[in-house]
């Protein structure tokens, strides 16, 4: 209770429930969310924080004292409208979640494993084919996923959920690719 706990809920709209439900019981809790993911506004640089009046006051005091470049007006107007348009928000996040669930099935059928995803991306690893090989092949097809050359991540690909059409292009390519892939230097 003598520290401030910040919960980063960048992906909460693709999952739930939010830690905001804990706010009434904890005045040292700050829940932060962004408009960059579920509200499709990456680059606009909007987010918000939910917390007790004392915590929010402390944030505002610091902001007005040290940060003379607070969020610009067009961004504030766009953000306000985005929150008001509940129907569009519900529609787009439902689409992502539906496509994500369908994608999990397709990845599993193609021999990929992944930690279960409650976000707008899936971190997949193939049972035979190295992630690096898949990444390079996809890039040649102009299909872009993320590859991290880092310990524990370098045999995985981070695939963001796109439209159904985009995911189908990916799966059509992967179907052929993993079927035909053979380790290099094995000519039998
Ligand atoms: C995207 C993201 C954020 C916030 O992104 P901004 O564009 O800076 O608002 C915060 N935390 C995590 C884990 C994220 O993935």
**Residue for token pair 């993320």:** 146
Highest mean pLDDT among 16-20, 129-133, 180-184: 129-133
User: Does ligand 1 come within 6 angstroms of the Cβ of 47?
Assistant: yes
- pTM of the predicted structure, to 2 decimals: 0.87
pLDDT tier for residue 65 given thresholds of 50, 70 and 90: confident
- Nearest alpha carbon, ligand 1 atom 10: 10
Which pLDDT belongs to residue 188?
A: 54
pLDDT at 68 over 80: no
Which pLDDT belongs to residue 26?
A: 96
Q: What is the arithmetic mean of pLDDT over 26-52?
A: 95
pLDDT tens, position by position, 152-173:
999 999 999 999 999 999 999 9
User: Does ligand 1 come within 6 angstroms of the Cβ of 49?
Assistant: no
d(CA 106, CA 86): 30
Q: What is the arithmetic mean of pLDDT over 120-140?
A: 98
Which pLDDT belongs to residue 72?
A: 87
d(CA 112, CA 21): 35
- Nearest alpha carbon, ligand 1 atom 12: 10
Closest CA to 38 of 49, 50, 46: 46
pLDDT tier for residue 186 given thresholds of 50, 70 and 90: low
Q: CB neighbours of 182 closer than 8 A, spacing ≥ 6?
A: none
Separation of CA 174 and ligand 1 centre (Å): 29
**Pick the residue with more confidence: 186 or 109?**
109
Separation of CA 34 and ligand 1 centre (Å): 6
């Amino acid at each position: 209770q003598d520290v401030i706990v910040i919960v980063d809920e960048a992906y909460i709209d693709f999952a739930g429930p939010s830690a905001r439900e804990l706010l009434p019981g904890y005045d040292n809790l700050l829940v932060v969310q962004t408009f960059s993911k579920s509200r499709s506004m990456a680059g606009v640089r909007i987010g918000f924080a939910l917390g007790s009046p004392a915590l929010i006051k402390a944030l505002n005091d610091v902001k007005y004292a040290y940060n003379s470049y607070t969020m610009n007006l067009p961004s504030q107007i766009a953000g306000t409208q985005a929150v008001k348009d509940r129907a569009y928000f519900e529609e787009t996040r439902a689409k992502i979640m539906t496509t994500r669930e369908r994608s999990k099935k397709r990845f599993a059928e193609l021999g990929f494993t992944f930690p279960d995803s409650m976000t707008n991306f899936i971190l997949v690893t193939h049972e035979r084919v190295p992630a690096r090989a898949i990444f390079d092949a996809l890039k040649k097809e102009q299909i872009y996923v993320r590859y991290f050359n880092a310990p524990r991540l370098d045999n995985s690909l981070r695939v963001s959920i796109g439209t159904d059409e985009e995911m189908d292009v990916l799966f059509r390519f992967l179907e052929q690719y993993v079927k035909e892939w053979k380790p290099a230097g094995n000519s039998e």
